[in-house]
Amino acid sequence: MQQPWITLRLGQTSIRIDRRVPFIFVVCILATLSAMVINIGVGEYPIPAIDVVKTVLHIPTGEEDYNFIVNTLRLPRMLVAALVGLALGISGAIMQGLTRNPLADPSIIGISSGASLVAVSILVLFKGISSNYLPFAAFGGALLVAFAIYMLAWRGGDSPIRLILVGVGLGAITSAATSMMITFGNINDVQRALIWLTGSVYARSWGEFWPLFMWVLVFAPLACFLARDLNALNLGEDVARGLGSNVTYKRGLLLIVAVALAAATVAAAGTIGFVGLMAPHIARRLVGPDHSGMLPVAAMVGALVVVCADLVGRTLFAPIELPCGLITAAIGAPFFVYLLWRQRKS
């Protein structure tokens, strides 16, 4: 009988992965790369796809301007978009796996709104401050709220359901505080804050890319490293404990990874909602629920979603640009309905 997975063994070392993973993973990477190339080519100053590739690879194309437009203006934006999607995909997959709730998402529970509150407060209260500090502040806000959620949900043990509900509650409080800022701030500051709130990769440069890249470089592999533990936790706390998993420690570690990734995205691009909700579901459909294969695929699907959302946002009402967070919300909400609808059948 054909096994549903591929096994690689080398001496004592062995790895097992779902049969569908390699092919789908490669397809997702290719799709994301193509979407990025198309997105870089589109704009006020259109560039043919082949020239985009050439310019990125520093092969002369004969056009002087291409290098500036592609490598300085559009490429970092695209890379930020892809990394944001990637991080959100993994973060959402971890949250859903940990809470055993298919509806968990960093933007639905309060983490993103914590980041928003800090960022908006800074934009509104400290006029002269350089927006370079914004990402760090947002990151701090997200971590702080995540920590508060965990502490408040902890009661002699952690419960996934309490975690979600406390997240919703804290989200409501921080949103109220945010709307206070919006009410009292100078109208121009408020508008800047709103753009940030919606989530956008507009005008992101290498300056935003590198810090995000470092975070993803550390935490994305760590997530994949913990995939086996996530699988065990996904069976429920008692079963996982019975299987010999150090539940509290592993769950805490996974939560830190999820929050760090979500916070990094908020810092780089504001709150881009629903990607963390959608990507894991699509990945699960493609390669099944085993996280060792599902996490990388969710990451790539997330990247694809954000890059495409940005593309749509840029082209739909050109020359006006819609923030890509608006697009992901517009796709994400019906997706959410679909998820609830599907649950009804089982």
Partner 1 sequence: MASATVARPRGEMRFVRSRAALLLGLLLCVGALLLAMLASIAFGAADISAATVWQAIFAFDQSSTSHLIIRTLRIPRAVVAAIVGAALGVAGAMMQGLTRNPLADTGILGIETGAALSVVCAVQFLGISSISLYAIFAFIGAALTAAAVYGLGSLGRGGPTPLKVTVAGAAITAFLSSITTGLLIFNQRTLEEVRFWMAGSVAGRDLKLLVQASPYLIVGFVLALALGRQITTLSLGDDVAKGLGQRTGWVKILAAIATVLLAGCAVAVAGPIGFVGLVIPHMVRFFVGVDYRWVLPYCALVGACFLIMSDVVARLVIRPSEVPVGIMTALIGGPFFIYLVRWRVKR
Partner 2 sequence: MGTLHTEALELAYDSNVIIQHMNVSIPSGKITALIGPNGCGKSTLLRGLARLLQPRKGAAYIDGKAIHQMPTRELAKQLGILPQSPIAPEGLTVMELVAQGRYPHQSWFQQWSIEDEQAVEKALAITGMTEFRTRPVDALSGGQRQRAWIAMTLAQETPVILLDEPTTYLDLAHQVEVLQLLEHLNKEQGRTVVMVVHDLNHATRHAQHVIAMKAGKIVAAGVPNEVVTSELLQEVFGIDADIVPDPRTGVPLCIPYGLKGSSAGIKTTSLEAALANGTTS
Rule CB under 8 A: is residue 320 a binding residue for partner 1?
yes
SS3 category, 15: strand
Q: Which two tokens stand for residue 134?
A: 């914004």
> What are phi and psi for residue 6, nearest 5 degrees?
-100, 135
Name 318's Cβ contacts closer than 8 Å, sequence gap at least 6: none
Q: Binding partner of residue 239 among partner 2, partner 1, none, CB under 5 to 8 Å per kind?
A: partner 2
- Least separation in angstroms between residue 49's CB and partner 2 is 37
Name all contacts of 335-339 with Cβ < 8 Å and 24+ positions apart. 335/274, 335/277, 335/278, 335/281, 336/103, 336/274, 336/277, 339/102, 339/103, 339/277, 339/281
Which 254-283 positions form the footprint of partner 1 (CB under 8 A)?
Answer: 273-274, 277
Residue closer to partner 1, measured from CB, 16 or 100: 100
Task: Identify the helix (H) or strand (E) that includes residue 56.
Answer: helix 49-56
Binding residues (CB under 8 A) for partner 2: these are: 1, 4, 7, 9, 12-16, 97, 100, 102, 156, 225, 228, 231-232, 234-236, 238-239, 241-246, 284, 288-290, 292, 346
- Please choose, out of 11-19, 190-198, 210-218, 293-301, the segment that lies near partner 1 by the rule CB under 8 A: 190-198
Query: How deeply is 44 buried, as exposed, middle or buried, from its count of CB atoms within 10 A (0-12, 13-18, 19+)?
Result: exposed
Residue closer to partner 1, measured from CB, 245 or 271: 271
Strand partners, 7: 16
> What are phi and psi for residue 18, nearest 5 degrees?
-60, 140
Site for partner 1 (CB under 8 A): which residue of 198, 231, 245, 265? Answer: 198
Residue closer to partner 2, measured from CB, 92 or 325: 92
Residue closer to partner 1, measured from CB, 67 or 159: 159
Q: Binding partner of residue 136 among partner 1, partner 2, none, CB under 5 to 8 Å per kind?
A: none
From residue 325 to residue 344, what is the string marking binding to partner 1 with x (rule CB under 8 A)? xx--xx-xx--xx--xx-xx
- Least separation in angstroms between residue 99's CB and partner 2 is 11
**Local structure of residue 271 (DSSP, 8 states):** -
Rule CB under 8 A: is residue 17 a binding residue for partner 1?
no
- Least separation in angstroms between residue 120's CB and partner 2 is 37
How many Å is the Cα radius of gyration of the chain? 21
Q: Binding partner of residue 108 among partner 2, partner 1, none, CB under 5 to 8 Å per kind?
A: partner 1
Q: Binding partner of residue 19 among partner 2, partner 1, none, CB under 5 to 8 Å per kind?
A: none
**CA separation, residue 56 to residues 69, 76, 308 (Å):** 11, 11, 19
- Least separation in angstroms between residue 222's CB and partner 2 is 12
> What are phi and psi for residue 8, nearest 5 degrees?
-115, 125
Residue closer to partner 1, measured from CB, 39 or 112: 112
Question: In angstroms, rounded to a whole number, what is the distance separating the alpha carbons of residues 71 and 57?
Answer: 10
Residues written for the chain: 346
Site for partner 1 (CB under 8 A): which residue of 16, 19, 100, 241? Answer: 100
CB 98, CB 258: distance < 8 Å: yes
Question: In angstroms, rounded to a whole number, what is the distance separating the alpha carbons of residues 231 and 240?
Answer: 9
Name the residues that contact partner 1, by CB under 8 A. Answer: 100-103, 105, 107-109, 152-153, 155, 159, 161-162, 164-166, 168-173, 175-177, 179-180, 182-184, 187-188, 190-191, 194-195, 197-198, 273-274, 277, 320, 322-323, 325-326, 329-330, 332-333, 336-337, 340-341, 343-344, 346
